[in-house]
Amino acid sequence: MENDVLIQANNLQRFYGAHCAVNKVSFEVKRGEVLGFLGPNGAGKSTTMQMLTGNLAPSSGQIIINGIDILEQPKAAKLGLGFLPEQPPLYRELTVDEYLHYCARLNRIASKQLSRAVTQSKERCGLTEVSTRLIGNLSKGYQQRVGIAQAIIHSPDVVILDEPTVGLDPIQIREIRQLIRELGKEHSVILSTHILPEVQATCDRVQIINKGKLVLSDSIDGLTRRMESSSLLLGLHNPPPVEVIQTIAGIETVEQLENGQIRIQHSPNENPAEQLATRAVNQGWGLYALMPEHRSLEDVFVDITCTETADSETESGEAA
Task: Find, among 160, 137, 163, 136, the residue nearest to 150 by Cα.
Answer: 160
The whole-angstrom separation of Cα 66 and Cα 4 is: 8
pLDDT in tens, 214-223: 988 888 888 7
Query: What is residue 95's DSSP assignment?
Result: B
The whole-angstrom separation of Cα 200 and Cα 10 is: 26
Q: Which amino acid appears at position 47 of this protein? A: T
Q: Is the pLDDT of residue 131 over 50?
A: yes
What is the third-level CATH fold of 229-292?
Answer: Alpha-Beta Plaits (3.30.70)
What does the domain layout of the chain look like in residue ranges? 2-225, 229-292
Mean pLDDT on 245-253 = 91
pLDDT bracket for residue 59 (50, 70, 90): very high
The whole-angstrom separation of Cα 133 and Cα 58 is: 39
Cα 257–chain centre separation: 33
pLDDT bracket for residue 134 (50, 70, 90): very high
pLDDT bracket for residue 309 (50, 70, 90): low
pLDDT in tens, 189-207: 999 887 778 888 889 999 9
Q: What is the pLDDT of residue 308?
A: 57
- The residue that leads in pLDDT, 185 or 159, is 159
pLDDT bracket for residue 318 (50, 70, 90): very low
**Cβ burial 228-267 (10 Å sphere, 16+ → b, else e):** ebbbbebbbeebeeeeebeebebbeebeeeeeebbebebe
Task: Find, among 112, 114, 141, 115, the residue nearest to 127 by Cα.
Answer: 141
Q: 215: exposed, middle or buried (C-beta count within 10 Å: 0-12, 13-18, 19+)? A: middle
Mean pLDDT on 162-186 = 85
Q: Choose which CATH entry (2.30.38.10, 3.40.50.300, 3.20.20.140, 3.40.50.2300) describes domain 2-225.
A: 3.40.50.300
8 Å CB contact between 222 and 229:
no
The β-bridge relationship of strands 287-292 and 231-236 is antiparallel
β-bridge mates for residue 253, sequence order: 265
Residues 6+ apart with CB under 8 A from 113: none
pLDDT in tens, 68-89: 999 999 999 999 999 998 888 9
- The residue that leads in pLDDT, 99 or 226, is 99
- The residue that leads in pLDDT, 182 or 127, is 127
Q: What is the pLDDT of residue 228?
A: 67
Q: Is the pLDDT of residue 1 over 50?
A: no
